[in-house]
Structure 1
Amino acid sequence: MRGWFKNNKGFLVFLICFGFFRTAIADWNPIPSGSMRPNLLEGDVVFVNRLAYDLKLPLSNHVLVHLGEPQRGDVVTFSSPKDGTRLIKRLIALPGDRVEMRQGRLRINGEEAAYEEIESLPEPVEPWGLVPALRMTEKVADGQRRVQHLQGVLARDLPATVIPPGQYLMLGDNRDNSADSRFIGTVPRELLIGRAVRILASADIKGSWLPRFERFGQRL
């Protein structure tokens, strides 16, 4: 056994360094579902900056030092407070914000979002197949993003809520098809993993499995 360690110490050092890098510095995250459509598609692989907010003890949620503050509009990977599943959503509201959603319309600190239609098209929704979808630009709280609503499907309302200290509210951009803070509650800071920065690679995993080269390198 001692000889095996001696003969493979270079590989073991590489594994340790690689594990430290992925759990403390940077990571990549495959997109398995359509909850962030139209901005992230199934089969995208995003680069995640784990040092965007906190330096953590590797392989744990223990925060060693705060490095930056989460911002509204960030695309964030985090562990679900409900069951620990890794999720990726958009950060919509900060601690102290008053937020609500009624009939798909978002309101933050008394300001109702303005919506501008971009296009209407069929979108794949399991297990029903293609469903008519409306894509819009949502502008609120000095930020804007593309969001999607499924026609004939009403998003779960979010009653007026003040976000507690140290907590963040997350929503999927595909508002009618996302298990987000409307279902799992607000997310404590220590469960934030990092900020998704750009798309590293992409493949059409729901169809041909061919690479989508036009998505490589896109910033979020």
Structure 2
Amino acid sequence: MEDNTNNSEVEQKSISGFKRFIYDWIFPIVLAIIATVIINKFLLFKIYIPSESMKPTLQVNDQLFVTRVYKPENLKHGDIIVFYSSELGDTLIKRLIGIPGDNVKIKGGEVYINDEKINEDYVKYPSSYDGEFQVPKGKFFFLGDNRANSEDARYWNNPFIDGKDIKGKAQLRVYPFNRFGFVK
């Protein structure tokens, strides 16, 4: 009779140990994975910089956290934005220069929005490109900070990006660690 009692106690302890393992290890790991997927899908994602088109603001191999954009109409001139270009078939990161309704003029490397020259102290490598763009409703106009070496809206067949193709706004540089901080 004692054998059955001991076996029953051992079984209960092993079931109790299994439940403890589920609650202590498996459950938190599953919750962490679910939380990570939700955050990545709806709140923010991480990107790396593959080119010099945003130099010196962003360097090649910088890694950034980007917050998802659900209302492109809330974006402001000068924001650094991640978007999809259907013309290039690629996701890009550039600075937002023109919002819907803006008239963007580029003359001698200077940029004017609605006939007002904008301060672009982040542009260290200007270009001599001249051109004018009227940004249509629901569209946005982007340029790289490294104007002398950026394949941006100035050179695309369709220089405007639809609001639905805007993915996120660059917020925080997380790598390299010595340049950790908010993106301006």
State whether TM-score is above 0.5: yes
C-alpha deviation, 1:16, in angstroms: 5.3
Indicate whether 1:101 and 2:106 are aligned: yes
- Where does residue 160 of structure 1 map in the other structure? 132
Runs (4+) of structure 1 moved beyond 2 Å? 9-21, 154-157, 217-220
- Where does residue 199 of structure 1 map in the other structure? 173
Q: Residues of 2 paired with 1:171 and 1:73: CA distance?
A: 10
1:32 to 18, 27, 50: 50
Q: Please, what TM-score do these two structures have when normalized by structure 1?
A: 0.63
Matched pairs, number: 157
* Residues 148, 174 of structure 1: 8 Å contact kept: yes
Q: Partner letter of residue 80 of structure 2? A: V
Q: Which has the larger radius of gyration?
A: 2
Give the percent of matched residue pairs that are identical in Structure 1 and Structure 2.
Answer: 32
C-alpha deviation, 1:14, in angstroms: 5.5
Give the SS at the match of 1:89: strand
C-alpha deviation, 1:15, in angstroms: 5.0
Q: Residues of 2 paired with 1:111 and 1:29: CA distance?
A: 33
Q: Residues of 1 paired with 2:138 and 2:72: CA distance?
A: 15
Q: Residues of 1 paired with 2:133 and 2:144: CA distance?
A: 18
Give the SS at the match of 1:146: coil
Give the structure with the larger strand fraction.
1
Give the SS at the match of 1:91: strand
C-alpha deviation, 1:106, in angstroms: 1.3
Residues 77-131 of structure 1: CA deviation (Å, up to 9, x unaligned): 0001313311000000111110121232212111234xxxxxxxxxxxxxxxxxx
**What residue ranges of structure 1 are gaps of 5+ in the alignment?**
1-6, 55-65, 114-138, 203-212
Give the SS at the match of 2:53: coil
**What residue ranges of structure 2 are gaps of 5+ in the alignment?**
1-21
Q: Partner letter of residue 176 of structure 1? A: A
Indicate whether 1:172 and 2:172 are aligned: no
* Residues 49, 196 of structure 1: 8 Å contact kept: yes
Q: Residues of 2 paired with 1:78 and 1:37: CA distance?
A: 18
Indicate whether 1:111 and 2:111 are aligned: no
Q: Residues of 1 paired with 2:41 and 2:113: CA distance?
A: 33
Give the structure with the larger helix fraction.
2
Q: Please, what TM-score do these two structures have when normalized by structure 2?
A: 0.75
Q: Partner letter of residue 109 of structure 2? A: G
Indicate whether 1:147 and 2:152 are aligned: no
Give the SS at the match of 2:155: helix
CA RMSD of aligned residues (A): 2.4
